[in-house]
Amino acid sequence: MPIDPRFDADEAALLTDLYELTMAASYFAIGLNGPAGFSLSVRRMPQRRGFLVAAGLDRLLEALEEFRFAPAAIDYLASLKLFAPAFLDYLAAFRFTGDVVAMPEGTIFFEEEPILEIHAPLIEAQLIETLVVNQIGLASLVASKAARSFHAARGRRLVDFGLRRSHGADAGLVAARASYLAGFNGTSNVLAGRRYAIPLHGTMAHSYVMAHETEIAAFEHFVALFPELGSLLVDTYDTLRGVENAARVALELRARGGKLQAIRLDSGDLPDLSARARRILDQRGLNDVAIFASGNLDEFRIDELARAGAPIDAFGVGTAMVVSADAPALDISYKLAEYNGVGRLKTSPGKLTLPGRKQVFRARNANGGFFADRIGLAEEAAATVAREFRPAPSTVAPLLERRFQAGRRLEPRPTLAESRERFLAEFARLDRRHKDLERPERYSVRHTIALGAMLTAEKLRAEKRQD
Amino acid sequence: MPIDPRFDADEAALLTDLYELTMAASYFAIGLNGPAGFSLSVRRMPQRRGFLVAAGLDRLLEALEEFRFAPAAIDYLASLKLFAPAFLDYLAAFRFTGDVVAMPEGTIFFEEEPILEIHAPLIEAQLIETLVVNQIGLASLVASKAARSFHAARGRRLVDFGLRRSHGADAGLVAARASYLAGFNGTSNVLAGRRYAIPLHGTMAHSYVMAHETEIAAFEHFVALFPELGSLLVDTYDTLRGVENAARVALELRARGGKLQAIRLDSGDLPDLSARARRILDQRGLNDVAIFASGNLDEFRIDELARAGAPIDAFGVGTAMVVSADAPALDISYKLAEYNGVGRLKTSPGKLTLPGRKQVFRARNANGGFFADRIGLAEEAAATVAREFRPAPSTVAPLLERRFQAGRRLEPRPTLAESRERFLAEFARLDRRHKDLERPERYSVRHTIALGAMLTAEKLRAEKRQD
């Protein structure tokens, strides 16, 4: 099967860094397992990014509910000769019993803002670190990248074509889901279609045309079987002759009462070819045949094509989106912020963290547009924080919501379609200055006065931890 | 569990692009299922790359042996209302019965060279496309990136720390395996350790130090449990004070007959901090405590540190390596090269493909060093191709080997350790001009005379396919 078949439940909890287990073993040995709070945030925006899109929460919470060390996993850990039997017994009985507060999927967020906080006994919160960072990091990375194509496309349709270049099986699924969340209209990924009910797209590759003796035979065979589905790939040989052949087939299909949906251009000078293809189609009365473009597209190229007025109705976006090519990782980290009710922070150069249980407060104007956030303490009231914004906002509301309690998911559990609606609504309320593809304006994010005071106090306390 | 638990055998064959299935359905309907040959190659080298490393074959061949459409997958496909019952029955009975010739894992390769060819009935060869490109592409991408750190480290040890930033669960496993293949010494990824018998590394995160009341207590607790394993992370607060604390613990440990393995620096000015840390340790007679560095390292940074003579004994390399940050995708494609014994090619602008069954011939000098390759036809004899090289090589040998026949893996099946040895031996035989991190010299790859003649003939034939 297309992925390693042994990647099953017996091994899943082992998908972690060894140090999570050695730290946990040490905490277990010394009985250090009080209530801890960890905070997940992006320390610095990737280049050219003016906003980020939170994604991946649903998959994460499901995984947390089911997190187990199966007997086979325990056997392997025992074989390492690192861990005491009592600790292995602890792992064998391990369940994640903590709480999660998080921004719902589809929320727009910015640097330094906690997008998720875990409150759990220290060992539990530590053992899930790798999972949390890996899953939320990737989904948010891709959603943030895909939203840029959505912005550039100005309403034209977008399809995820990236599975083959995604970083493995899991990444292909995450990318299909995250791009749909961020405004895409469908995916070529069949498993993603099944699992997430995302509309599927796809017709033919060049090999299909090449396997036939002639291009026209390939087109005819395809529409004979799929009269409703067809988008004919016209650039296997000479593109404009390919368009002529597609037009011929479209007219034959029309004569039989059918309709060709689209032609697809996958190479060459797209503004020129799409204009010429449009003319060829229109001259034959095929105004209703759409032009679909693909081939190394990204938000920059889509923006160019849209600005140039290229008559392209839909885009297939692959590699650049699924690997987030210009920024293939988020500087995301999961940091201890509180232990036994006391704030913690590290003071490593350039890596200062924010102590305590936190909340993100978002200020909106009367139209719902949002213009500034404050990172504050969880116990602060929105009404109080509202006074710290200039100009005075129409509303201020917290972004982090409790979504998981004592090891179980809470209601509501938004569907992917609902999360997509949230994204679309919120994205429309974000000023375009922050959406510029090359030089976005920085969105205003500051600490509340209360968080600032806690930070100062905890810095002093942290210095004492080396005495 | 840490990945979506539903990602199981029932769904694995659905991890494909919809068009593979629509093309297959059309081939099935019209009875177009003769013997086909597909060729996998990288069209253009990524920026700054002078060589690539083949990887991922073992996982792929295992997946091909087990490729099935399970009943649940068929049910989903039926629900799409796209496919005829006879085609769904065909899929339900589907097995991959073809042959695979490929470069063994660890082989150094270059642009345009076929690294793998599939010979199978057309429908079978088409249905596995997404899997082949996804898996070989990612593994080779990461192995090629990791080899650059191996080169830059000049013998210092390297550990994969990338799991949390890898693109999902599968990518984390692929990266651990591919980087070990390409000269790394271990990984933090516990599941990769189990599955591929890769040495595991890892001790503590900043959160471990922060969870304790004092840094020294954290260090003492850790070495009490893991006296042999310890590398103490010294930069949670002030780094040099952290080194002093680690030294104190190392001396206490020594007094009890133990030995601290290393300290770890994860931030700051590494040349300066490593030199100061080395002095502190040496002044206390702790010459045997190694210095391990991590924190946003890549081949460029490792090269700088090695050139600067920073006293660092080992590097943890994470994000930049696992996502291949400066080139996060390969321009890899799987192209129909032959159908019913006749060569095929496409002539799209900039995307000319090579027809026929091919072979890659590598010329070596008397020391085994390789200096030029020829892409030729599979039936050409190495001795004949040898006459096309200048200067005259000492030996010429083919790189593509038959590894899979009639749906089953053939012997030998090299272990990961054996593939790693192959890489190490071959990498040593590649001239350093091609290994330069910024401006590698282009390695000589040409077509044999026979392939050139076939290409000319097939171009003419391709033009007729649009008449």
Buried b vs exposed e over A346-366: b needs ≥16 C-beta within 10 Å?
bbbeebbbbbbbbbbbbbbee
At A1 the pLDDT is 29
Give me the phi and psi of B375, to 5 degrees please: -90, 125
Contacting residues of B for A225, CB less than 8 Å apart: 25-26, 29
Domain-embedded: residue A3: no
Residue A229 and residue B22: Cβ atoms within 8 Å?
Answer: yes
The A residues from 199 to 258 touching B (CB cutoff 8 Å) are: 200-216, 221-222, 224-226, 229, 235-239, 241-242, 245
Residue B347 and residue A236: Cβ atoms within 8 Å?
Answer: yes
The A residues from 88 to 107 touching B (CB cutoff 8 Å) are: none
The DSSP-derived string for A83-109 is S-HHHHHHHHT-----EEEEPPTT-EE
Residue A349 and residue B172: Cβ atoms within 8 Å?
Answer: no
Give me the phi and psi of B328, to 5 degrees please: -80, 10
Per-residue pLDDT of chain A (467 residues; tens, 9 = 90+): 233 333 456 677 999 999 999 999 999 999 999 999 999 999 999 999 999 999 999 989 988 998 999 999 999 999 999 999 999 999 999 999 999 999 999 999 999 999 999 999 999 999 999 999 999 999 999 999 999 999 999 999 999 999 999 999 899 999 999 999 999 999 999 999 999 999 999 989 999 999 999 999 999 999 999 988 879 999 999 999 999 999 999 999 999 999 999 999 999 999 999 999 999 999 999 999 999 999 999 999 999 999 999 999 999 999 999 999 999 999 999 999 999 988 888 777 666 788 889 999 999 999 999 999 999 999 999 999 999 999 999 999 999 999 999 999 999 899 999 999 999 999 999 999 999 999 999 999 999 999 999 999 888 888 888 87
Q: Which of B267, B432, B63, B207 is nearest to A335 (CA)?
A: B207
Residue A329 and residue B165: Cβ atoms within 8 Å?
Answer: yes
> Which of these three, A322, A356, A385, is where a domain ends?
A322
Q: Which of A64, A63, A83 is nearest to A75 (CA)?
A: A83
Measured distance CA(A134)–CA(A291) in Å, rounded: 37
Domain-embedded: residue A43: yes
CB distance A44 to A65 below 8 Å: no
Helix (H) / strand (E) containing B118: strand B114-121
Contacting residues of A for B351, CB less than 8 Å apart: 267
Distance from CA of A401 to the nearest CA of B (A): 22
Distance from CA of A432 to the nearest CA of B (A): 28
Measured distance CA(A325)–CA(A161) in Å, rounded: 14
Six-digit token string for A281: 């189609």
Indicate whether B331 and B294 sit together in one domain.
no
Residue B217, judged by CB atoms within 10 A of its CB (0-12, 13-18, 19+), counts as middle
Distance from CA of A20 to the nearest CA of B (A): 7
Indicate whether B316 and B177 sit together in one domain.
yes
Residue A134 and residue B168: Cβ atoms within 8 Å?
Answer: yes
At B9 the pLDDT is 60
> Which of these three, A277, A300, A322, is where a domain ends?
A322
Size of interface A-B (CB pairs under 8 A): 438
Residue B346 and residue A171: Cβ atoms within 8 Å?
Answer: no
**Residue A149: strand, helix, or coil:** helix
Indicate whether A447 and A369 sit together in one domain.
yes
> Which of these three, A322, A338, A367, is where a domain ends?
A322
Residue B229 and residue A22: Cβ atoms within 8 Å?
Answer: yes
Check CB contact of B47 with chain A, cutoff 8 Å.
no
Task: Give me the half-sphere count of Cα atoms (radius 13 Å) on the Cβ side of residue A276.
Answer: 15
Contacting residues of B for A8, CB less than 8 Å apart: 8
At A354 the pLDDT is 86
> Over chain B (467 residues), what is each successive 10-residue block's mean pLDDT?
43 91 97 96 96 96 91 95 97 97 98 97 96 95 98 98 94 96 98 95 93 95 89 95 97 94 96 98 97 97 97 98 98 94 78 86 97 97 96 97 96 95 98 97 97 90 80
Task: Please report, for the domain that includes residue B347, its CATH number.
Answer: 3.20.140.10
Six-digit token string for A70: 């199966």
At A349 the pLDDT is 66
Residue A170 and residue B3: Cβ atoms within 8 Å?
Answer: yes
At B356 the pLDDT is 87
Measured distance CA(B375)–CA(B362) in Å, rounded: 9
Contacting residues of A for B209, CB less than 8 Å apart: 346, 465
Indicate whether B348 and B287 sit together in one domain.
no
Residue A88 CB contacts under 8 Å (≥ 6 apart), including other chains: A74, A77, A78
Compare CB distances from B467 to A12, A77, A214 and report the shortest one's residue: A214
Residue of A nearest to B175 (CA): A167
Residue of B nearest to A140 (CA): B167
DSSP E strand stretches across A283-439: 290-293, 314-317, 332-339, 342-343, 358-364, 370-377, 395-398, 401-405, 408-409
Indicate whether A128 and A180 sit together in one domain.
no
Query: Domain of A43?
Result: 9-143+327-464
**Looking at residue A199, what DSSP letter applies?**
P
Task: Give me the half-sphere count of Cα atoms (radius 13 Å) on the Cβ side of residue A448.
Answer: 29
Indicate whether A355 and A268 sit together in one domain.
no
CB distance A56 to A134 below 8 Å: no
Q: Say which amino acid occupies B187.
A: T
At A2 the pLDDT is 31
Indicate whether A118 and A263 sit together in one domain.
no
The A residues from 437 to 466 touching B (CB cutoff 8 Å) are: 462-466
Buried b vs exposed e over A303-337: b needs ≥16 C-beta within 10 Å?
bebbeeebbbebbbbbbbbbbbbbbbbbbbbbbbb
Residue B348 and residue A268: Cβ atoms within 8 Å?
Answer: yes
**Looking at residue A3, what DSSP letter applies?**
S
Check CB contact of B419 with chain A, cutoff 8 Å.
no
Give me the phi and psi of B60, to 5 degrees please: -65, -45
Taking residue A448's Cβ as centre, other Cβ atoms within 10 Å add up to 19
Q: Which of B183, B184, B186 is nearest to B428 (CA)?
A: B183
Q: Which of B313, B223, B215 is nearest to A348 (CA)?
A: B215
Q: Which of B404, B373, B420, B436 is nearest to B143 (CA)?
A: B420
Measured distance CA(A191)–CA(A147) in Å, rounded: 22
Residue of A nearest to B94 (CA): A1
Taking residue B206's Cβ as centre, other Cβ atoms within 10 Å add up to 23
Taking residue A199's Cβ as centre, other Cβ atoms within 10 Å add up to 11
Strand partners, A315: A158, A293
Task: Please report, for the domain that includes residue B191, its CATH number.
Answer: 3.20.20.70
Domain-embedded: residue B2: no
Measured distance CA(B293)–CA(B282) in Å, rounded: 18
Indicate whether B195 and B295 sit together in one domain.
yes
The reply to whether omega before B85 is within 30° of 0 (cis) is no
Indicate whether A311 and A360 sit together in one domain.
no
At A205 the pLDDT is 94
Indicate whether B250 and B306 sit together in one domain.
yes
Residue B214, judged by CB atoms within 10 A of its CB (0-12, 13-18, 19+), counts as middle
For residue A320, give Cα distances in angstroms to A165, A229, A324, A444.
9, 26, 6, 28
Compare CB distances from B336 to A126, A210, A346 and report the shortest one's residue: A210
Domain-embedded: residue A185: yes
Residue B18 and residue A201: Cβ atoms within 8 Å?
Answer: yes
Residue B242 and residue A466: Cβ atoms within 8 Å?
Answer: yes
Domain-embedded: residue A2: no
Q: Say which amino acid occupies A270.
A: L
Compare CB distances from B346 to A206, A324, A346 and report the shortest one's residue: A206
Domain-embedded: residue A350: yes
Residue B26 and residue A215: Cβ atoms within 8 Å?
Answer: no
Domain-embedded: residue B149: no
**Number of domains making up chain A:** 2
At A461 the pLDDT is 84
At A18 the pLDDT is 97
Measured distance CA(B207)–CA(A355) in Å, rounded: 12
**Looking at residue A59, what DSSP letter applies?**
H
Indicate whether A339 and A313 sit together in one domain.
no
Six-digit token string for A138: 């990737």
Indicate whether A160 and A243 sit together in one domain.
yes
Residue A382 CB contacts under 8 Å (≥ 6 apart), including other chains: A361, A396, A397, A398
* Strands laid side by side in the B444-447 sheet: B395-398, B358-364, B370-377, B444-447
Six-digit token string for A405: 């309690």
Contacting residues of B for A202, CB less than 8 Å apart: 17-22
Contacting residues of B for A174, CB less than 8 Å apart: 167-168
CB distance A106 to A426 below 8 Å: yes
Measured distance CA(B442)–CA(A399) in Å, rounded: 52
Strand partners, A396: A363
Distance from CA of A421 to the nearest CA of B (A): 24
Tell me, what's the ipTM? Answer: 0.95
Place of tokens 């190229």: A301
Domain-embedded: residue A73: yes
Compare CB distances from B134 to A68, A163, A206 and report the shortest one's residue: A163
Measured distance CA(B221)–CA(B450) in Å, rounded: 69
Q: What is the pTM of this model?
A: 0.96
At B353 the pLDDT is 80
At B10 the pLDDT is 67
Contacting residues of A for B203, CB less than 8 Å apart: 19, 22
Q: For A260-323, where are the alpha helices, taking DSSP H only?
A: 270-283, 299-307, 319-322
Strand partners, B119: B37, B99
